[in-house]
Structure formats: structure tokens, C-alpha cells
């Protein structure tokens, strides 16, 4: 083990040759050096034109021409728009057969325009060509693919939510699984943290995934103070944490309820993060809870939170590509919804309240 203290903002700890960054302050100070400028909105709940009506949009991707593809999950299709917001076409329909989906929540795109879409209901990853024609699907041990990435290499990264016991082999349950398009498992990496019971292992090892242009993969833990970066081959490059105004997830509350079928353990724990992305400058954006919510906040509707009834108080934390915290950015329109970054454009997916996708531009001050 080796220690190095470069300054007051962070310390670097070397463990087994890997940097562990402990962030205590922001290099930028209190004033963020980026801002977000509104560009346009996709979707209108008041329109009668079905081309622009989104029902519970779930995800968005942008191709090399700037066209925007929105996973219209409630209508079981993908809608395509040009960079000015004009409708260009759609593909997909409800069902469990080829080219269909019923439980889609995530979408991503390869550089050649091929699209992957998960389906939690059928437990597969569907692959479509750039025209929306079905190419195939991946099914791995009947597990639900919760997060998916289309890597520039043509490989697919998947995070599966799964139940596992504390005594199980950690390597068996790696959090990042890399497949080829035929569904062959090529490698896996990113170890879970092992807790004392199965429900906590399930929930507290939930992660968000992102990749940069070099296929480095970033793993942001929803209920751990833990952000990790891996090479395309699966080598751990750094671990990072940061000082927040609430404790780590060791303070986990459990209640046991007895039913005729047996005991049920309810787990309550802190939530840290709501996503991760990288921007055109290689910076890492984490959606992070600024504070922990009160019990009444946890049960409020997304509409109430958006209107300011019980704000969840989310912020963006922006790190450099080595895991050092640069600054924090808080915007009133960001309240924990899914976000995606493509170059200097950031998209917010409002699934429930306005059922729309909002595009902003990342501007350096």
C-alpha cells in the first residue's frame, strides 16, 4: 500500500497498483466552470400528432449525422428525428417476437448505426441494423439486462441484476459482462461488494454504466460511494469516492416480515447516484443526490418532485478522467431523471411528468 497527498482537494492511495482517489474538495471551487443551455424539446403530451407524442420515453441515442432516436417505451417503438426535431420515421412494435419488445428500458448505438435495446420482460438484448431491421438477440442465463452499452469495438457490455448469496464466489457475479453480437460471453469484470444477506447484495450492487471513445467503461454504484474506471480489457484503472453530506451504505436498515410463504426482508439504504456519462472532453458526469430524502419524499410522485413539492435535490458531479472531482453543478430542471451525453449535448429523459426529452448544450465558461 502506498499513500500520496497531492493537495487539499483530494488524496491518492495506491493499492495493488491501482489509484484510489478520495475527493474532499472541488478543484474548481464553489463556482462550476460549465453551464447548460437549452436547445430543444422532443415530445408533446398535448399534441394529436402521434409522430410527436411520446408515451413514457425511456432512452435516447444520437447518430453521427446528429439524428436523435428516442425509445418510446410506452408505444413499444423507436422514433427518429433530425437534429431540428423533425420526425423521420420509427421502428419496432409490441410483442416478444423478432423485432418486437414489451419491457424495453435502455438503448444504445454502435458507430455504424446499429442499435441495441434491452427487454427486461423477455430478458434479452435485441440488435437492430441502422434501418431498424431486426438482426438478432442475446439471452444470457435467463437474466434481466438492466444496463447495456454498444462499444466502439462492436462488443456489447451488459449489467445484469441478479440475486446472489454472501458465500458465493465473487468472480462468478462480476457486474460487467462483455459479449459479441452472437451472444458469446468474452470476459467479465467489476467485483460486487459482498454484504451479509441476499437482498442487500441485490440492491446495493446496482450500477450505472458508461463508455468513452476508447471503450473505457465507467461504473457508478447507485448505493455505494464508489465510481470505477476499467479499460476495454477489464483492467481496473481507478476507484474514486467523494465527501458527501450523508454516510456510506453500511448504515443499512432491515425489517423482516413473516408470510405464509416464509420471511421477507425489506432493506432500506442510502442512494448515492442516478447515472453516469462522459462528455466530449473526457470528463465524467455523475448524477448524485446532494442529500438523502425523508421518508415522505421517497413516496412522492415524480410530478410533485418536478413542481417543487418535495425536491430530491440532485446535482451533477463532474470528475476528470482520472477520478478527481472538478466541480458540482445544480440545475432546477435536473431532479434525478435519466440523462445521456453525446459530444457537447446532454439529453434529459422525462419519462413520467412531461413525457418528453429535453436537449441542452454543455458550455464551458
Q: Give the C-alpha separation, 75 to 124, whole Å.
A: 19
Number of H helices and E strands in the chain, helices first, is 3, 31
Please give the pLDDT value at position 165. Answer: 75
Residue 3 has pLDDT above 60, yes or no: no
Question: Which 8-state DSSP code applies to residue 339?
Answer: E
0.85 cut: is pTM over it? yes
CB-based contacts of 201, cutoff 8 Å, min separation 6: 163, 164, 165, 166, 192, 194, 195
**Residue reference for cell 448504515:** 251
Please name every residue paired with 2 in a beta bridge, in sequence order, or none if there are none. Answer: 14
Tens digits of residue pLDDT in 168-193: 665 678 999 999 999 999 999 999 99
Where does the pLDDT of residue 8 fall: very low under 50, low under 70, confident under 90, or very high at 90 and above? Answer: confident
Residue pair 145/163 in contact (Cβ under 8 Å)? The answer is no
Residue 257 has pLDDT above 80, yes or no: no
Tens digits of residue pLDDT in 282-312: 999 999 999 886 654 544 444 444 444 344 6
Residue pair 289/297 in contact (Cβ under 8 Å)? The answer is no
Cell numbers found for residue 110? 454502435
Fold (topology level) of 33-364: Neuraminidase (2.120.10)
Cell numbers found for residue 152? 466502439
- What is the full DSSP assignment across 71-137? EEGGGTEEEEE-TTS-EEEEE-EESSSTTEESS---EEE-TTS-EEEEETTTTEEEEE-TTS-EEEE
Residue pair 341/277 in contact (Cβ under 8 Å)? The answer is yes
Among the ranges given (2-6, 116-120, 192-196, 313-317), the one the predictor scored with the smallest mean pLDDT: 2-6
Cell numbers found for residue 249? 451504505
Please name every residue paired with 188 in a beta bridge, in sequence order, or none if there are none. Answer: 177
N- to C-terminal Cα separation, the chain: 39
Task: Identify which of 177, 231, 223, 242 has the alpha carbon closest to the alpha carbon of residue 27.
Answer: 242
Domain positions in the chain are 33-364
Amino acid at each position: 500500500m502506498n499513500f500520496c497527498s497531492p493537495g487539499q482537494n483530494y488524496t491518492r492511495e495506491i493499492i495493488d497498483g491501482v489509484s484510489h482517489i478520495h475527493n474532499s474538495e472541488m478543484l474548481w471551487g464553489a463556482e462550476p466552470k460549465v453551464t447548460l443551455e437549452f436547445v430543444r424539446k422532443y415530445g408533446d403530451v398535448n399534441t394529436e400528432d402521434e409522430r410527436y407524442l411520446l408515451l413514457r420515453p425511456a432512452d435516447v441515442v444520437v447518430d453521427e449525422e446528429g439524428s436523435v432516436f428516442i425509445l418510446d417505451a410506452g408505444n413499444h417503438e423507436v422514433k427518429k428525428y433530425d437534429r431540428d426535431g423533425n420526425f423521420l420515421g420509427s421502428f419496432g412494435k409490441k410483442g416478444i417476437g423478432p423485432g418486437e419488445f414489451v419491457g424495453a428500458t435502455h438503448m444504445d448505438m454502435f458507430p455504424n448505426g446499429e442499435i441495441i435495446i434491452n427487454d427486461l420482460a423477455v430478458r434479452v438484448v435485441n440488435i437492430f441494423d441502422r434501418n431498424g431491421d431486426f438482426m438478432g438477440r442475446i439471452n444470457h442465463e435467463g437474466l434481466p439486462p438492466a444496463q447495456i452499452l454498444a462499444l466502439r469495438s462492436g462488443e456489447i457490455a451488459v449489467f445484469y441484476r441478479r440475486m446472489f448469496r454472501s458465500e458465493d464466489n465473487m468472480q462468478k457475479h462480476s457486474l460487467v459482462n462483455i459479449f459479441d453480437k452472437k451472444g458469446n460471453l468474452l470476459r467479465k469484470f467489476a467485483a460486487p461488494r459482498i454484504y451479509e444477506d441476499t437482498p442487500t447484495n441485490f440492491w446495493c450492487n446496482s450500477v450505472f454504466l458508461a463508455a468513452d471513445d476508447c471503450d473505457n467503461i465507467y461504473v457508478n454504484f447507485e448505493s455505494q460511494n464508489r465510481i470505477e474506471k476499467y479499460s476495454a480489457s477489464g483492467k481496473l484503472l481507478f476507484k474514486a469516492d467523494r465527501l458527501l453530506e450523508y454516510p456510506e451504505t453500511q448504515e443499512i436498515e432491515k425489517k423482516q416480515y413473516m408470510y405464509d410463504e416464509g420471511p421477507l426482508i425489506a432493506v432500506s439504504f442510502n442512494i448515492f447516484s442516478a447515472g453516469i456519462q462522459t462528455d466530449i472532453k473526457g470528463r465524467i458526469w455523475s448524477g448524485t443526490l446532494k442529500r438523502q430524502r425523508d421518508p415522505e419524499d421517497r413516496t412522492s410522485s415524480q410530478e410533485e418532485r418536478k413542481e417543487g413539492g418535495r425536491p430530491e435535490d440532485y446535482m451533477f458531479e463532474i470528475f476528470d478522467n482520472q477520478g478527481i472531482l472538478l466541480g458540482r453543478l445544480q440545475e432546477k430542471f435536473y431532479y434525478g431523471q435519466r440523462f445521456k451525453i453525446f459530444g457537447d449535448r446532454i439529453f434529459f429523459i422525462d419519462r413520467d411528468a412531461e413525457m418528453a426529452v429535453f436537449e441542452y448544450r454543455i458550455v464551458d465558461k
